[in-house]
Amino acid sequence: MLPTVDFFNCGMHHPDLGEADVYSENSYLVDWPPEDYRMLEKTVLTARHRVHESGLFSDEALCELIDLHPQDYLTIAAMGNDENRFEWMTGVRGETSAEDLLQAVKNGQLWVNLVSLARFHPEYARMLDSIYHELESQCPGFQAQHRSANLLISSPNAMVYYHIDLPVNMLWHLRGEKQVWVYPPFDDRFVSPRNIERLILGQMAEDMPYQSWFENYAISFRLQPGQMITWPQNTPHRVTNRDGLNVSLSTEHRNPLAKRRINVHLANYHLRRQFGCKHLSTDPRLWTARFKEAYVRCLRIWDQLTKRKSPEPFSYRKRFRIDPLADKGYVLLDGQTDLSFTEEEAVLAGV
The tens digit of pLDDT for each residue in 80-95 reads 999 999 999 999 999 9
Largest Cα separation within the chain, whole Å, is: 64
Are residues 62 and 102 in contact, defined by beta-carbon separation less than 8 angstroms? yes
- pLDDT score, position 13: 36
Point out which residues pair with 73 in neighbouring strands.
none
- pLDDT score, position 311: 85
The stretch 11-29 carries a mean pLDDT of: 50
The stretch 234-255 carries a mean pLDDT of: 97
Distance CA 123, CA 43 (A): 30
List, for residues 253-271, the tens digit of each pLDDT value: 999 999 999 999 999 999 9
Are residues 134 and 224 in contact, defined by beta-carbon separation less than 8 angstroms? no
Measured CA angle at 182 (ends 87, 226), to 5 deg: 100
Q: In what order do the strands lie in the sheet with 110-114?
A: 29-30, 45-49, 227-230, 168-175, 246-254, 145-154, 110-114, 74-78, 89-92, 318-322, 330-332
Handedness of CA 126, 127, 132, 138 (dihedral sign): positive
The stretch 197-214 carries a mean pLDDT of: 97
Query: Hey, where are the domains in the chain?
Result: 4-192+205-254+317-334
Architecture (CATH level 2) of domain 4-192+205-254+317-334: Sandwich (2.60)
Q: Which amino acid makes up residue 257?
A: L
